[in-house]
Amino acid sequence: MLAKDSANILSALTTLSWKLLVAYRTFSYDANNSNNNNSFYYYNYYYYYCYYYYNYYYYYYYYYYYYYYYFYYYYYYYYYYYYYYYYYYNYYYYYYYYYYYYYYY
């Protein structure tokens, strides 16, 4: 659960920073397009830099999300078989004392 929440927060923060950077890049380009064309390429570089890390963390978000449900599934899988065998253990344990009682008494 902690890995899932951390991935959610990280994904949200990365998305927010990416959108803010896009807005800042666009504003800077509009403000400086007439006198400084290099600023566009400068912020365009950081736009793709942030976009790359956005997809990077987005990939790891689904990576941990997948393994979270993978182990969640196997947890309940073994949890079910634990009570399954626990039930039959008590079942045979009961009949053991049942026949033991009638054998000696």
Q: Domains of the chain: which residue ranges? A: 2-104
Q: Report pTM.
A: 0.24
More confident residue, 105 or 76: 76
The helix (H) or strand (E) run that includes residue 16 is helix 2-32
The owner of tokens 């399954």 is 84
Question: Can you give the pLDDT at residue 58?
Answer: 74
Token pair recorded at residue 34:
């007439």
pLDDT, tens digit, for every residue of 21-65?
A: 666 655 555 555 555 555 555 666 666 776 777 777 777 777 777
Please check the confidence at residue 75 and state whether its pLDDT lies above 70.
yes
Q: Which residues have a Cβ under 8 Å from the Cβ of 10 and sit 6 or more positions away?
A: 57, 61
Question: Can you give the pLDDT at residue 68?
Answer: 78
